[in-house]
């Protein structure tokens, strides 16, 4: 299958860089258009907290995420891949699903972060939740360790 439009989730973490690198290779091979998405995680408590604060930490967090996103867009553009960056506020599962449907993408690309069983139970898994909610294919990128050299 050839993917024409991809939604690549990017947050600047090590796992995000893995997804960006592998997603870039795939987009290049397929000639796909890439929507690069960065989600600023929100919660009801954080939104109320910001409205009461004069320092507006959400605004600073959003600015930092926009810088990270611009870095990702620049990397894709340098490789000759047509791309558009998107920053949104919300919960990652909800926003990734919404953007994938709205943009009618063929593939969602995201990195994998290893978490403890308790953390996965407590907070859920973005990847597993996306499997239930997505209407397109999903590529979960995992950094392959360097092969061991002979002893």
- Let me know if residue 71 belongs to a domain: yes
- Let me know if residue 79 belongs to a domain: yes
- Let me know if residue 42 belongs to a domain: yes
Residues ≥6 apart with Cβ < 8 Å to 51 = none
Q: How many domains does the chain have?
A: 1
| Rounded Cα gap, residues 73 and 122, in angstroms | 33
Residue 66 belongs to domain spanning:
33-114
Provide DSSP, 8-65: EE--SSHHHHHHHHHHHHHHHHHT-EEEEEEEEE--HHHHHHHHH-SS-HHHHHHHHH
- Let me know if residue 92 belongs to a domain: yes
Q: What is residue 144's predicted lDDT score, i.e. its pLDDT?
A: 74
Q: What is residue 54's predicted lDDT score, i.e. its pLDDT?
A: 43
Which among 147, 84, 105, 114 has a CA at the least distance from the CA of 14? 114
- Let me know if residue 127 belongs to a domain: no
- Let me know if residue 108 belongs to a domain: yes
| pLDDT by 10s per residue, the chain, length 151 | 689 999 999 988 899 999 999 999 999 999 999 999 999 888 654 444 444 444 456 788 888 999 999 999 999 999 999 999 999 999 888 999 999 999 999 999 999 866 555 545 445 555 567 778 888 999 999 887 656 665 5
CA 42 to chain centre: 15
CA neighbours within 13 Å on the CB side: how many for 128?
7
| Rounded Cα gap, residues 73 and 141, in angstroms | 18
| Rounded Cα gap, residues 151 and 149, in angstroms | 7
- Let me know if residue 128 belongs to a domain: no
């Amino acid at each position: 299958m050839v993917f024409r439009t991809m939604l690549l989730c990017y947050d600047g973490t090590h796992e995000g860089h893995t997804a960006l690198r592998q997603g870039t290779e795939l987009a290049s091979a397929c000639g796909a258009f890439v929507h690069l998405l960065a989600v600023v995680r929100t919660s009801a408590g954080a939104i109320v907290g910001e409205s009461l604060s004069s320092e507006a930490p959400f605004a600073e967090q959003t600015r930092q995420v926009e810088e990270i996103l611009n870095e990702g867009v620049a990397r894709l553009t340098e490789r000759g891949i047509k791309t558009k960056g998107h920053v949104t506020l919300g919960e990652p599962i909800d926003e990734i699903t919404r953007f994938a449907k709205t943009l009618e993408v063929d593939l969602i690309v995201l990195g994998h972060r290893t978490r403890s069983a308790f953390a996965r139970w407590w907070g859920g898994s973005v990847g597993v939740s996306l499997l239930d909610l997505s209407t397109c294919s999903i590529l979960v990128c995992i950094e392959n360790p360097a092969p061991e050299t002979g002893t």
